[in-house]
Amino acid sequence: MKQLYALICFFIVISCNSVSYSQGLSAGFLSGINFSDIHGNYCSGKWKYKSGASESIFIDYSINKVIGFQTGVNIATLYYEHVQYNELPRMYYLSPSSSSYYIPDLIYFRTSEKMDFTVLTIPAQVKLSIPSRPSVNLTAGIFYSFITDYSLNYVYSDEPSKRDFGWLFSTGLSYPLNDNMDALFDIRYMTGRRRFIEQAGYKHGSVDLRFGVAFKGFLSKNSDSDQTGKNDTVSSRISLTYKGGINISRNYFGDNSGSYSFYTGLSAGFSVNIKLAERTFFQTGLSFENTGYSLKDSSDSFHRYHSGLEPVYYVNTKIGTDYINIPAQLCILVGKPGNMYISTGPYLAIKLNARCTGEAIMESKDQGSYSLRKIVVYDDLNGLIRNNDIGWIFGGGITIPVFEKYSLDLGLQYRTGFRDIFNESFYSGMTPYKRGETIIRNRMLSFHFGVRTPVFR
């Protein structure tokens, strides 16, 4: 902990004495909560999103209004809890007429695996700012972290690793409160790359929601007041669209596809539109997408149709995967007014989480016994689903100008992945074709509604 305090003091001293530093230097703090998001090769039971504190101080060095670097120190407490399906052994039943014992009803309990870690993290990130109002900040980088404290209650004999490194990505908004201070809102996604329990294959991860303040006014007398955007002119080459919508996924085809049905999810994010020619734009961005499929049939598995002689469950589940989607599309305006467009291009989707939720009914008829169980299904499927997906997008839409600088964007998009989303290493490298199973690929129709805002020069 002494190291931690030393680092914090170091950054405070830097912050307070940074007047002499370059105009692009700013510092601040972010404070908020993290939701644990452990990763690993599991496919059963639920890892709860448990909240913990997350505190950061940072310094930024901006080369210009768009590109910069960011580092700092972050301390967070990660709480992990895994809940599994469990059921007490059946208690011997004594007839009330033959015994005075009171035998309570059957009790079902859950066992959980609990761990918590206090993690000191040092990130190193590249920052991309889109100078709008509020301005959008995107960062990506690496981190190195130290476990300063931990406690655990799990079945493995391994001691957890005390060091970690990994990737982090964040997106956020900064809003100028005055010439020297910006209010910040930030969503950060961190994923460790080192197994902290070798036996289990667990890797650290979290999603942080943070608010904070960036101080920049005292760094220089000629502070970056232009970054507030007050005096900027609107760029005619770049625009920004904040958008959200509904996805309808139909991810299944091939054998047994009748057991599956549509899945409805949400999407939210933004896109950056860069003008290439009079009626041609390049469009990229970042969006959170929730895609998947539904399974409703008798099956031996909760997450895909599989049936032996007599399926164990009647399953009614939804299998959803969260992705961060990064498109790279060419967008062409059509029609005389130029407010309609068509777009196409590839995309890269980075998996955040995957889960199977719903209900299953298990009817058991053995010789002389009958039981009917309702199972509330929640299986994290991170180990089963590939970490990323690539594919192609086709889309189109219409923009409707509102007010002076803004416009509404209504669009329809169809996206199809190139590969089966399931990790074939779980099936000894056998493809779904060879296994005779349904092909599951991301295929999604999404309707979005967005607001296009100007970007300042």
Partner 1 sequence: MDGLFKYRYFILLCLSGVIPSCTPDPSIEMLENYNFEFVSESGNKMLAGETSIVTIKAKNYLNRTDNRVKVIFDIIRGGGSVSEQSVLTDSSGYTTVSWQFGGDSLDQLLRASVYKLSGQYLTSADLVAYGFMENEWNGISCNPDGYITEMIADTVNRVTFMVASGHIYRQGSRYFLWEEVVDDNLVLPRTIEIDRNGVIYVSTWNGEVVKSTDHGESWKKCTKPYPEDPYYIFMSVANDNYLWAGKYDFPTKFSKDGGNTWQNAGDIISPFLNGNTFRLKSGALVNHGAKGTSRERLNISYDDGLTWISRETPGYSTVMYVNENDEIFIGTQENGFTIYQTIDMGATFKKVHSVFPQWGTTMENNIFTKWNGFYYIIVPGFGILKSSDLIHYENYWLNSDLNDLFIDHNGVLIAKDWDYKTVYYRKNSE
369 binds partner 1 (CB under 8 A): yes
User: Binding residue for partner 1 (CB under 8 A) from 6, 20, 93, 277?
Assistant: 93
Binding marks (x or -) toward partner 1, 127..166, rule CB under 8 A?
-------x--------------------------------
Q: Is 265 in the site for partner 1 (CB under 8 A)?
A: no
Nearest to partner 1 of 136, 331 (CB atom): 136
Angle in degrees, CA 221, 227, 233, rounded to 5: 125
Among positions 3, 17, 22, 84, the unique one binding partner 1 when judged by CB under 8 A: 84
**Nearest-angstrom CA–CA distance, 116 and 16:** 34
Instruction: Establish if 367 lies at the interface with partner 1 (CB under 8 A).
Output: yes
Q: Which of residues 376-395 bind partner 1 (CB under 8 A)?
A: 376-379
Q: Distance of CA 284 to CAs 271, 281, 326, 346, 397, Å? A: 5, 10, 7, 10, 16
Pick from 209, 246, 268, 439 the residue near partner 1 by CB under 8 A.
Answer: 209
Closest by CA to 320, choosing from 305, 306, 303, 298, is 303
Tokens of 9: 């003091």
To partner 1, the closest distance from the beta carbon of 308 in angstroms equals 20
Nearest distance from C-beta of residue 106 to partner 1, angstroms:
6
Distances (CA, A) of 69 to 17, 139, 171, 236: 19, 9, 14, 27
Which one of 96-104, 247-255, 339-347, 424-432 is the stretch in contact with partner 1 (CB under 8 A)? 96-104
Min CB(112)–partner 1 separation in Å: 9
CB of 134 to partner 1, least distance (A): 6
How many residues line the site for partner 1 (CB under 8 A)? 49
Smallest Cα–Cα separation from 256: which of 226, 300, 200, 211? Answer: 300
Task: Give the shortest CB-341-to-partner 1 separation in angstroms.
Answer: 30
Nearest-approach distance from CB 419 to partner 1, in angstroms: 28
Query: Which of 271, 268, 24 shows the shortest CA–CA distance to 130?
Result: 271
Which one among 14, 45, 114, 218 touches partner 1, defined by CB under 8 A?
A: 45
DSSP conformational letter for 161? P
Quick check: 373 binds partner 1 (CB under 8 A)? yes
Tokens, residue 316 = 């009614």
d(CA 349, CA 285): 12
Please report whether residue 101 would count as binding partner 1 according to CB under 8 A. Answer: no
Q: Which token pair is 383?
A: 């180990």
Q: Which window, 60-68, 172-180, 276-284, 423-431, contacts partner 1 (CB under 8 A)?
A: 172-180
Strand (E) or helix (H) holding 10: helix 2-16
Task: Output the six-digit token pair for 270.
Answer: 């933004």
Give the residue with the Cβ less far from partner 1, 16 or 376. Answer: 376
Residue from the set 23, 41, 51, 257 that interacts with partner 1 by CB under 8 A: 51
Using the rule CB under 8 A, give the single segment among 93-101, 161-169, 193-201, 217-225 that binds partner 1. Answer: 93-101
| Member of 15, 24, 27, 32 binding partner 1 (CB under 8 A) | 32
> Is the CB of residue 158 less than 8 Å from the CB of residue 198?
yes
Nearest in space to 281 (alpha carbons), one of 340, 358, 326: 340
- Binding segment toward partner 1, per CB under 8 A, in 69-77, 101-109, 215-223, 265-273: 101-109
Cα 247 from Cα 264, distance rounded (Å): 6
Q: Smaller CB distance to partner 1: residue 208 or 420? A: 208
Q: How many CB atoms lie within 10 A of CB 367?
A: 4
Cα 164 to Cα 115, 215, 361, distances in angstroms = 16, 30, 41
Q: Which residues here bind partner 1, judged by CB under 8 A?
A: 32-33, 35, 45-46, 48-51, 83-87, 90, 93, 95-97, 103, 105-106, 108, 110, 134, 173, 175, 177, 183, 185, 209, 211, 355, 357, 365-379
